[in-house]
Amino acid sequence: MKFIASKEKLLKLASTSEILVSSKLGFSAAANMLLKAEAGKCTVKSTNLEVSFEASFEVKVEKEGAICLPQQQVVSTLRELPPGDLEVELLEENMLRLKPVSSTRRVLLRILGIPAEEFPDIAAVNERKECLSIEKTVFRKIIQKTAFAAATHSTKYALNGIFLGYEKEKLSVVATDGRRMAVYETKIADTTAEDFKVILPAIFLQNLQRAIFDEGPLKFWFDDKSAFFLFDGFTISSRLVDGDFPDYKSFLPRSHSRHVNMERPSFNQSIQTAQAIYPSTELSLKKITLDIQSSEVQVKSYGDKKSASEEAVNAKLVEGEPLKVAFNLKMLSEVIKNVESETLDLYLENDISPVIIREGSGGEYFYVLMPVRLSDFS
């Protein structure tokens, strides 16, 4: 195998592959990527048997061939090479040679691989016409603002994933760990996609978010076992999570007796200040209290050894009577950090019922958070 390729293009494919397909304990093939040159193209493939990646770009092929190479070593090596074209040649005994075509640096690198035949088969993917198309930057933001709420070690395996549903031209993305819930809902019209309800691994979607840059369309579709994503010439697949996702709509509060409008930056700052009085290892065990009055909210948190944080934040009690309610400090912080609007709205019934937190612009994202009892935690 011998070909001339752009170092930048090869690095983009290899680094994206490394982000998406992480090694699994006991499965060494996931640490390798397949590099193949044929018919004027260089193709990169990788898989860990749950997530697969494939992409190609045009190169000048002098001799066709293929080799399996360690992903991490390829990426780190390419990053150190000068920009421009590379001569890539497969020598004897599975040794790959990389040589810059034109550079002031006279550098020659070799990477030891394994035979291409040892790479696992990846099923061919046929793009469907019945797919959803969404702007990449929008999809990236959806995952950023929902995935944090997914469970990480739940025995209810479905909660370790993120729900994607499409019905009546409305896309819903939901993550929950049973104590908080992040919801995104938006209309997507002018599409031929069929209705669906699937669960995808949260870690896969978080890695996919990291691999998305710039603007442009992202298409995705599903079959009975897998999800498929297509963007920038990349074809990515992931196994779906088995199980039933909870009916999230049944957990939404049906009524509220209090509505509070707040300035998001000052509220967020008061929460971050409260966090500062605790060691980071203790944040998940601490609470924060909101004493809601007609024109302000007293944000209070009390730690050990008489440490304390108290701050008054301007607010407007739009509806209802004053109320004192407490939350897990870390969970409230993670929710508010993902609100981007200048104002936010809290909808409460009492001090023990779920609270809805909405972006002040009445946007497509909202969060549901369970309070803690005022007597709980430190």
133-185 per-position pLDDT tens digit: 899 999 999 999 999 999 887 566 678 899 999 988 889 999 999 899 999 99
The mean-pLDDT minimum among 236-245, 261-270, 300-309 falls in 300-309
The mean-pLDDT minimum among 109-118, 172-181, 305-314, 350-359 falls in 305-314
With respect to residue 374, please indicate whether it lies within any of the assigned structural domains: no
b (16+ CB within 10 A) / e for 93-128: ebebebbbeeeeeeeeeebebeebeebeebeebeeb
236 shares a domain with 304 = no
Q: What is the mean pLDDT of residues 217-232?
A: 91
104 shares a domain with 139 = no
Number of domains in the chain: 3
User: What phi and psi, each to the nearest 5 degrees, are found at residue 163?
Assistant: -85, 130
Cβ partners under 8 Å of residue 155, min gap 6 = none
Residue with more model confidence, 340 or 40: 40
Q: What is the mean pLDDT of residues 85-108?
A: 91
40 shares a domain with 144 = no
Please give the single-letter amino acid code of residue 93. Answer: E
With respect to residue 320, please indicate whether it lies within any of the assigned structural domains: yes
Q: What is the mean pLDDT of residues 10-15?
A: 96
Q: What is the CATH number of the domain that holds 96?
A: 3.10.150.10
DSSP string, 178-200: SSEEEEEEEE--S--PPPEEEEE
With respect to residue 242, please indicate whether it lies within any of the assigned structural domains: yes
Residue 195's pLDDT is what? 86
With respect to residue 330, please indicate whether it lies within any of the assigned structural domains: yes
Question: Do 145 and 96 form a contact (C-beta atoms < 8 A)?
Answer: no
Question: Do 118 and 312 form a contact (C-beta atoms < 8 A)?
Answer: no
222 shares a domain with 330 = no
Closest CA to 346 of 261, 278, 280: 261
The token pair at 314 is 């301007």
Residue 155's pLDDT is what? 61
Domain boundary among 215, 249, 283: 249
178 shares a domain with 69 = no
Question: Do 338 and 182 form a contact (C-beta atoms < 8 A)?
Answer: yes
Q: How many Å apart are CA 148 and CA 338, to the nearest integer?
A: 9
With respect to residue 125, please indicate whether it lies within any of the assigned structural domains: no
Instruction: Locate all alpha helices (DSSP H) within 71-149, ordered by sequence.
Output: 71-80, 136-144
Share of the chain above pLDDT 70, in %: 93
84 shares a domain with 66 = yes
154 shares a domain with 55 = no
Cβ partners under 8 Å of residue 314, min gap 6 = 262, 263, 266, 295, 296
Residue 377's pLDDT is what? 47
With respect to residue 90, please indicate whether it lies within any of the assigned structural domains: yes
pLDDT higher than 90, residue 223:
no
Mean pLDDT of the chain: 89
Banded pLDDT at 378 (limits 50, 70, 90): very low
Tell me if residue 310 falls in helix, strand or coil: strand
pTM above 0.75, yes or no: yes
Domain that holds residue 203: 132-249
Domain boundary among 249, 277, 304: 249
Residue 376's pLDDT is what? 58
234 shares a domain with 164 = yes
Tell me if residue 151 falls in helix, strand or coil: coil
DSSP annotation of 118 reads G
322 shares a domain with 233 = no
Domain boundary among 206, 222, 249: 249
Residue 23's pLDDT is what? 53
Q: How many Å apart are CA 49 and CA 41, to the nearest integer?
A: 25
What's the pLDDT tens digit per position in 68-80? Answer: 999 999 999 999 9
Question: Do 220 and 205 form a contact (C-beta atoms < 8 A)?
Answer: no
34 vs 13, 54, 239, 289, 322, CA distance in Å? Answer: 11, 9, 20, 54, 63
Tell me if residue 101 falls in helix, strand or coil: coil
With respect to residue 123, please indicate whether it lies within any of the assigned structural domains: no
With respect to residue 9, please indicate whether it lies within any of the assigned structural domains: yes
136 shares a domain with 62 = no
256 shares a domain with 225 = no
244 shares a domain with 257 = no
Banded pLDDT at 129 (limits 50, 70, 90): low
